[in-house]
Chain A
Amino acid sequence: KNQVEQSPQSLIILEGKNCTLQCNYTVSPFSNLRWYKQDTGRGPVSLTIMTFSENTKSNGRYTATLDADTKQSSLHITASQLSDSASYICVVSEGGSQGNLIFGKGTKLSVKP
């Protein structure tokens, strides 16, 4: 069964620190992997999309990595800010259609002053 597993479920860090969120998937065939940020009470916002051939992609202080061989991805947040407090959702596209997106349950990040 196609699955996307994220870890940890939740994380608390101090402002200014770095952190890394993990995503493991079993989706096949694979088209692309996406990371979204969801603030409380808002819809998810796209951070990155990576295809099979891309192993690193950055968006400001957010850097996503992809190892398609081991089916693992990570999202690294550098110099965290209070505004980074949100849920981060890993999504894997099964291939060929926007209708076949497999969503992880998300990691809830809290950044404390």
Chain B
Amino acid sequence: NAGVTQTPKFQVLKTGQSMTLQCAQDMNHEYMSWYRQDPGMGLRLIHYSVGAGITDQGEVPNGYNVSRSTTEDFPLRLLSAAPSQTSVYFCATARSGYNSPLHFGNGTRLTVT
């Protein structure tokens, strides 16, 4: 039981390049989300999904796209990378219900030069 798997662990991009951060879970959780963590700030929600085929924006969605075609996968796409997107990205999942804890992956550290 792997839990939440994020790939890659590290990535360096040049400004303007695009890429997809992968998130896969094997816990059959309905809720999946993407956060970014920057020094001196709390985690901030980028996008989230409450089930396959349903996505919604979080606090900081600009520059990112998501889709949810299956329960297991929730990829995050950077359309045209900018230095401001340098951050650590975490995928988190939860069973349905607002008292369910989030289960986080171990993150992708992205640097945009």
User: What is the total number of residues of chain B having a CB less than 8 Å from a CB of chain A?
Assistant: 26
Q: How many angstroms from the CA of A44 to the CA of B33 in the assembled complex?
A: 14
Q: How many angstroms from the CA of A42 to the CA of B104 in the assembled complex?
A: 9
Q: Check A43 against B92 for contact (C-beta < 8 Å).
A: yes
User: What is the total number of residues of chain A having a CB less than 8 Å from a CB of chain B?
Assistant: 26
Point out the residue from A42, A93, A98 that lies within 8 Å of B33, measured CB to CB: A98
Give the one of A31, A43, A97 with max B CB within 10 A: A43
Residues of chain B touching chain A, judged by Cβ–Cβ distance below 8 Å, are 4, 31, 33, 40-45, 48, 50, 56, 58, 90, 92, 94, 98-107
Q: Check B33 against A45 for contact (C-beta < 8 Å).
A: no
Residues of chain A touching chain B, judged by Cβ–Cβ distance below 8 Å, are 4, 31-32, 34, 36, 41-46, 49, 51, 89, 93, 95-99, 101-106
